[in-house]
C-alpha cells in the first residue's frame, strides 16, 4: 500500500457492524480514486457562460465577464423550515465576485456589512429568477437566509416547492 500510514502502521481493526451497515476497506483502486478526483475539475462550460453573462447583466459593463471563470458552484436546497446563518464566503482564495441565482420559493436574504454579522444589514426578498452578485468591496459582506416564504414558487420554474440557490465562485485553488 502506497500510503504513509498503511494498514500495517495505523491498525484498523475490523468492526462488528449491525445488519445493513457494510464496511469495505480499499474498495476503490488508486486509479479509480484518481479518475473520480479528476471529475471534480470538469466544471461545465455552460455554467461559466452563465456566470459571465450574469456579471454583465448585474454591472451593465459588457466586458465585466471577460476575466471571470468560476470553477465551483454550491447548490443549496431550502425546504419550508430551512435557514442559513449569517456568514462570509471566505473559503475562496480569490477576490472574484460570488454570483447567486435563486429558483423556487422567495426567501428573505439578509445582506450585511463586512465587519460583523450584526447590523447594519438590509433585508431583501430574493424571488425565483433573481440574480444577486457580491463582489468588490461587498465580496466579504456577511449574509444569510433568515426565512423562506413557502408556497411562493412561481408555476413553471421547475420546482414545486422549496428554494434552490446556486452560487458560482472562483476558488483560486488548484487542488
Ligand X SMILES: O=C(O)CCC(=O)C(=O)O
Q: Report the interface residues with ligand X, using CB under 6 A.
A: 74, 76, 84, 89, 100, 109, 126, 143, 145, 165, 167
Alpha-helix runs per DSSP H in the chain: 30-39, 45-59
Cell of 152: 411562493
The only residue of 59, 89, 94, 135 in contact with Fe ion, by rule CB under 5 A: 89
What is the Rg, in whole angstroms, of the alpha carbon atoms belonging to the chain? Answer: 21
Among ligand X, Fe ion, none, what does residue 30 contact (CB within 5–8 Å per kind)? Answer: none
Which range touches Fe ion (CB under 5 A), out of 20-28, 89-97, 108-116, 148-156?
89-97
Residue 87 assigned to a binding site = yes
CA distances (Å), 17 to each of 13, 20, 26, 35, in order?
12, 8, 17, 30
Count of chain residues binding Fe ion (CB under 5 A): 1
- When the beta carbons of 17 and 91 are compared against ligand X, the nearer one is 91
Closest CA to 100 of 46, 44, 143: 143
Question: How far is residue 175's CA from residue 170's CA, in Å, rounded to a whole number?
Answer: 13
Among ligand X, Fe ion, none, what does residue 76 contact (CB within 5–8 Å per kind)? Answer: ligand X
Is residue 92 near Fe ion by the rule CB under 5 A?
Answer: no
Amino acid at each position: 500500500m502506497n500510503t504513509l500510514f498503511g494498514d500495517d502502521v495505523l491498525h484498523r481493526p475490523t468492526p462488528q457492524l449491525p445488519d445493513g451497515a457494510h464496511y469495505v476497506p480499499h474498495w476503490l483502486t488508486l486509479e479509480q480514486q484518481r479518475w473520480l478526483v479528476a471529475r471534480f475539475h470538469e466544471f461545465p462550460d455552460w455554467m461559466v457562460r452563465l456566470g459571465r453573462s450574469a456579471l454583465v447583466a448585474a454591472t451593465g459593463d459588457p466586458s465585466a465577464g471577460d476575466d471571470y471563470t468560476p470553477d465551483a458552484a454550491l447548490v443549496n436546497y431550502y425546504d419550508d423550515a430551512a435557514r442559513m446563518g449569517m456568514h462570509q464566503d471566505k473559503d475562496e482564495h480569490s477576490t472574484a465576485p460570488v454570483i447567486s441565482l435563486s429558483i423556487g420559493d422567495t426567501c428573505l436574504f439578509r445582506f450585511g456589512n463586512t465587519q460583523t454579522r450584526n447590523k447594519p444589514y438590509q433585508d431583501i426578498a430574493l424571488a425565483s429568477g433573481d440574480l444577486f452578485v457580491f463582489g468588490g468591496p461587498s465580496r466579504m459582506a456577511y449574509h444569510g437566509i433568515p426565512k423562506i416564504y413557502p408556497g411562493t414558487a412561481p408555476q413553471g420554474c421547475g420546482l414545486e416547492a422549496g428554494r434552490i440557490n446556486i452560487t458560482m465562485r472562483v476558488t483560486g485553488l488548484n487542488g
